[in-house]
Each structure stands twice: as structure tokens, then as C-alpha cells.
Amino acid sequence: MRITTGMIRRNYMSGLSSSLLDMNNARITAQTGRRFNRISEDPFRASSAAALERKYLRNKDYLETITELQSISDTQEDAVTQISDIAEKVAKDYSVSALNGVTGEDGRHSYATALRELQESVVNSLNAQYGDRFVLAGNEALEAPFKLENGKLFYRGLDVSDPANQAQLEDLAKESSFVDIGFGLSFDNNDDVVSSTAYDMALPGLNLVGFGQTADGTEKNLVVLMGQMADELDSPNFNQENYEKLWNQFQKGSSELIDVNAKIGIRSKSLETTKTRLSDMDLSMTEQLDALVNVDPAEAIMNYSYAQYTYNSALKIGAGILGQSLLDFMR
């Protein structure tokens, strides 16, 4: 078989082009820090990275949602704490025994005035906001849920003392607002959210201060009771027995705030635990993505240097084999 300079030249140029391509690819890898820039370069890694990146971004969304929920939960907890502190103060400073030292109508009037101020403070706390959201409004979070008018308390337009509203108020007190934070959101046969697979961010204020009346007609709502206690103190015909009845009911209702505080504490702990788990997942998936997509910078530079050395060596070799011989002109 006759081997001509042209044949050698063609084989050489093919090898040189391959070396140049390898050097260019190594340069791009060193510059971008990525193992591939097109799916066709590494279909398996590209598809694995795409699936992992979707999980990574969804996990990021969960983390951002939890951070927002923690702020809302903190606002709810602050509001409940304020209401609890006021309820504790009323239970301590406005009992019948505490009033024994009050002298006459003027003294009772001073107590009544202070009690109404505390009543307003409770309503303000019940209308606590985080941003534009009223955190104790159940599912209607964009409007102030509570309104005090002429001694009557309204929750989302309903008089909390009116027996005709009890069925509606009971439904409002049970409202839920579920948020997907990575528990594996699922629905039952009625297309309702399975409560264990989502976070319930709703906390209707009705559950804090109560609503309706007892069997003997005594109000259950703490805000209304405070107003009635103030009215009794302001009355020229102050009835100590009636006042004590109101105060006892108030004390009973205020003790239930402890359960609400405990519930918020459990929810806050759940959010913190979930956030820790998601943060660990975020770190793990970041490392996995880095291993799939990115290259070690030192290794990439070394590979580029080696490819450049190979190409330069090929250029030097080419100088000795590119000359033409007589056989190139023979047929």
C-alpha cells in the first residue's frame, strides 16, 4: 500500500481538528464550570439534573412559605399574649374582693372607665395585622374581623351574642386555611384537604374570646362581659351579686386562653421542625446538583492545560510532516 504525504496530511489534519475541538471544549468547561451546556452533551446527567432542580426549586418555595407563616404565627402569638395579659389583669384587679376597697360610686366609675379601656385594647389585639392580613380573621383576612359598637361585639358582621347567629358563628369558628409546606398535600373523597398533609394557618379570633351564652343567659364572650362589668360598676344601683356572676364567667373564659396559647406553641414548633428538615434537604440537593452539573475548578483548569499542551504538541509535529513528496504528483 502506497502512503503519500497527502494521506499523512489528511490524517494529521483530522487529528489536529480533534485536538482543537478537545481544547475548545476544555476551555468552555473551565470558563463555565459546567460539565455540559447542552442536553445532547450528556443526556443522562441533564435529565437527572432537571428533575433534581425541580425538587430543589419546590423546596425553596416551601422554605419561603414557612418563613412567611412563622411571621404570621408570631403575630398571632403576640396578639394572644396581649389578650391573655389583659384577661389576667381583669381577673386579678377587678374581682369582687379587689373592689372591697373602692369607695362609693366615684370609685366604681374609675374602675369602669379603666375596664372599658382594657376592652378596647382587647378588640385592637383581636384585629392584629401582619402586612395587609388580619391574623385572627379566619378565611376573611383582608378585613378587620371584630367591631365593637354600643356594647355589642360583631365578628365579620355577626353579633356574637345573638342566638340567631350561633350556627353561623360555630361554622366560622371552625374555619381552616390550609397551606402546602411539603407534608405531601392530599385530598379525601370529598375533595377536602387531609388536615395531616398541610399546615392550617387559620386562627379565628372567636376561639379566643368565645361567643354565645350559657344556659342561664350569661354572656360567654370576654369582650362583652367586660362591657357588662363596666356597666354594672357604673350603675347607681350596683349589684355585687350580679357583678360577681359576670366576673366568674369572665375568669372561666379567660382560662381557656391557655389552651389556645399551647396550640399556637405546638404549631410554631411544627413550623420550626419542618423548616429545619427542609433546610437540610436544601443543602443536600445543592450538593447533589453541584456534583451532577458542575466540575471541580482545579480539575477543569488542569484538563484545559493538558488539552492545550496536546494541541501545541500536534502543531509542532505537523511542521515536520506537511512537506510534499514526488509521490504526491504521481498517478
Residue 207's Cβ-side half-sphere holds a number of Cα atoms within 13 Å equal to 21
Rounded alpha-carbon distances, angstroms, from residue 172 to 126, 203, 263: 15, 10, 18
Sign of CA dihedral 5, 7, 10, 14: negative
Q: State mean pLDDT over 49-70.
A: 92
User: pLDDT per residue over 204-242, tens digit each?
Assistant: 999 999 999 888 889 999 999 999 999 999 888 888 889
3-state secondary structure (DSSP) of residue 5: helix
Say how far apart CA 77 and CA 263 lie, in whole Å.
10
Is the pLDDT at 327 greater than 50? The verdict is no
Q: How confident is the model at residue 121 (pLDDT cuts 50, 70, 90)?
A: very high
> pTM of the entire structure?
0.78
- Percent of the chain whose predicted confidence (pLDDT) is above 70: 92
Say how far apart CA 7 and CA 13 lie, in whole Å.
10
**Residue 40 CA, distance from chain mean position:** 38
Find the angle CA(222)-CA(224)-CA(229) to the nearest 5 degrees.
90
User: pLDDT per residue over 160-191, tens digit each?
Assistant: 999 999 999 999 999 999 999 988 888 888 88
